[in-house]
Structure 1
Amino acid sequence: MTVSVLPVIARALITDAEFTSCRSTVMDANPDMPEEMAGRIVEEGLKFVAACATNPTTGLAPSRIVDEGWHALILHTALYAELCERLGSFVHHFPGYDPTDYDPPIIDRTRETIAALGYSADPEFWGPPSDETLVSVAAKCQHAPDCTIVITPKPKPGISRAR
């Protein structure tokens, strides 16, 4: 019998203080964004990282708005490294930007992977990039087929890599 170590609410993957700090990072990068919206963005970023870290061989990508939450997590390097370690794999970021580059099957696969973990992907945050988006974000990334997230497993302690 397998027992999930992930909390039912992705928000619980980090402490209240860490969550508040990440939410503030989103708000700092996006003046006039309501606190509630920034918190939702961070939570979706947490779901995305959990999906990638627990499924390291599956190509996944965030929507542009979710990428903003992921960026906030990454900027908190110690928190991010510890989070990825607890989840099982370090999730590297491979940015790319072409606002016309959008691959719905990758986003669908990412939402399905999030759902398989028991989380509910917020449908308002997982749509295509648009000038009429739910909220404008500072992140200038758009992940697409040629830059689908690929996770490189970290070497285990005591194992050296060939150079």
Structure 2
Amino acid sequence: MALRNLRFNGDELLRKKSKEVTTIENKIKILLDDMLETMYENDGVGLAAPQVGVLKRVVTIDVDDGNVYRMINPKIISSSGEQTDQEGCLSVPEFRGDVTRPMNVTAVYTDENGKEVTIVAEGLLARCICHEIDHLEGVLFIDRAVNIEKK
């Protein structure tokens, strides 16, 4: 595993749409490991591949619920409810803002072994899934946030 350099707001790559992963090769597994190490080193709870300069639909999440999520090609298939809370982002480290997201989401993704997984998430995990999938679409939390304040 290795630390990867984070990309920051203003980097054009963060505004591009990521490409689907068509084959789960060893380099995707290495990317997932590196992303987790980079996320932990920077005290994050989620990280998307574009944040480390890779335009692939790959996400890692650890909200301290006893699970570590390594998501390839994640998609939200349903959502319900609403929650508004403060968000930050490793790619926009100096700011926080209130973002409204679904309270509950059901998502599907492929794991690093090629198995399709369906996840039903609520609260912080649902928020993180939405936030990280936004990154895959070239959207930053500051595009959705109100009451943005400098940390």
Give TM-score scaled by structure 1 length.
0.27
More strand by share: 2
- Which has the larger Rg? 1
Bigger relative contact order, structure 1 or 2 (CA pairs below 8 A, ≥6 apart): 1
More helix by share: 1
